[in-house]
Every structure is written in structure tokens, then in C-alpha cells.
Amino acid sequence: MAYLVNMAPRLAELHRVLKLTGSLYLHCDPTMSHYLKILLDAVFDPRNFQNEISWKRFSAKNDSLRFGRSHDVVLFYTKGKTFTWNAQFGPFELDYVDENYRYVEAETGRRYRRGDLTAAKPGGDVSYEWHGARPYKGRYWAYSRENMDELLAAGRIEFRSTGMPVFKRYLDGTAGRPAPRHLDRRPASLWQQRATRLPDPKAARSPRTHHHRVVQPRRRRARPVLRVWNDSRCSRKARAAVGRHRCHVPGDRLDREAPDWHIR
């Protein structure tokens, strides 16, 4: 419990110097994460808790009398409701692609899925017959007649065997899969390497990759990142890659007189 006694004032001081739009990422192990979350809820407010990130550190762990302990925890809090967030995306899993993007365009080889061209609410003249088809009962076309003609001319519409038009949503036109809260150190599959242009499967599981994923959503060039207690080489390289400055404060300094500066 002495550890928690030491952490409480330090977390309170970090909250004080953090800008209103700032974020905190606390890296710990599962033996203390639940205790630290109670402290952080008290300091930052439970409503500002955003995520518990699970960081898989080992592919296997030989714990003979229990499930293998193979992950660390990163607790993500913000100081307020308004904060910088840049959504991250990665490649879809291969089985998801095979199931949802089942169609392949013969001319280009591009994968696509079929999307609905109708809408629940009308918006202008969207109840008409088009190429012998009308919207389903209680539905309306999602586009005007002119836009439908343009999409057809651009090759973005095809017809089902029933004559109903559908929209072609290309796989390479999507942002990808939203980044999950689980960081996995397993090597990327060959398909993922091609999709993300990773030259080495080890790159997908390096600590630097995961440091980058933590820093990237908060990306604003020239905005500093405060590192307290430890500042690893992977963390420094990840910040440099996205143009973020660092401000490293050794842990013992927080026990001294509080500095009169604020972190953004």
C-alpha cells in the first residue's frame, strides 16, 4: 500500500499541471491496475476515464498453476470532455474481408461489398422508378435521379438478379478497422504486412509500434509529451516520428517543490 500512498500525490500533481484538453496514459501491470484506477477516478473523475488498454507483452507465459500472465495495462484518462483525438485504423482481418467483401470486380480485381441505395426518410424527389426498379415499400432512393445516373456511369452501381440496384463499396476505399484497445505483440500475417507495408513482421509487435499508437491519437505537432519516471528509447522514437516534443520529469522530482508549468 506504500506504493499507492506515493502515487496519490503524484497523480494529483500531474492532474494540476495538465492542460484542460490534455490526456494521461498510465502504464502499469495487472496486479496494481485496479487500485490505480480507483485513485485516478478520484483525481480525474470517473467520467473522464476513456479506456483500459491491454498490452500483450508475451506470446506465451509458463504459469503452471494459473492462466498465463502475458499483458500489461495502460489506463487512459482525459482532464475534460474536450480533448484531441485522431482516430486510428488498421487492416481488416482476412476472414472479415472474405466474408464481407466477397465480390471481385473482373476488370480491376478490386474487392467490394454491396450496399443499399435506399433511405428511410425522403429528401427531395427520391421516390421514382429507375431502370425498372422502385425503392422497397416505405423506403426512398438515397440519391436523386441525376446522382444515380452519375454513379451508374462511374461503375459504382450494379444490379441484383431481381433488378434492384446496389452500391459497390470498395475495400481499398475504406479507412480500415478502427484500432482496438488490445495491443498484440504477435507478428503480423503476410496479408497484414502487405496491407500496412511493413517490411519486417517484427515491426508489428515492437514496443515502438505500440508507443506510436498511444502518441498518434494525441498528435499535434509542437505539443509536448510529459514522461514521468521512465523515458525509453522506443518512446522517444515514437514521439519523434509524429513531431512531438518530450518533457521528462524523474519520479523523485514530483516529491519536491511543484514546478509552476503546465503540460498540454
Split into its structural domains, the chain has a count of: 2
Boundary residue ending a domain (173, 199, 231): 173
Q: Same domain for 191 and 161?
A: no
Q: Same domain for 7 and 77?
A: yes
* pLDDT tens-digit series, residues 22-72: 999 999 999 999 999 999 999 999 999 999 999 887 777 777 888 888 889
- 214 grid coordinates: 498511444
Q: Same domain for 188 and 152?
A: no
Can you give the pLDDT at residue 171? 95
Can you give the pLDDT at residue 216? 58
Boundary residue ending a domain (173, 190, 218): 173
Distance CA 123, CA 125 (A): 7
Cβ proximity of 141 and 164 under 8 Å: no
* Residue among 225, 223, 193, 221 at smallest CA distance from 209: 193
Q: Same domain for 7 and 127?
A: no
Does 261 reside within a domain?
no
Cβ proximity of 36 and 26 under 8 Å: yes
The CATH number linked to 250 is 3.40.50.150
Per-residue pLDDT averaged across 207-217, rounded? 56
Cβ proximity of 171 and 191 under 8 Å: no
Q: What is the pTM of this model?
A: 0.64
Range of the domain at 129: 94-173
Which residues lie below 8 Å from residue 137, measured CB to CB, with a gap of 6+?
none
SS3 for 200? coil
Boundary residue ending a domain (158, 173, 188): 173
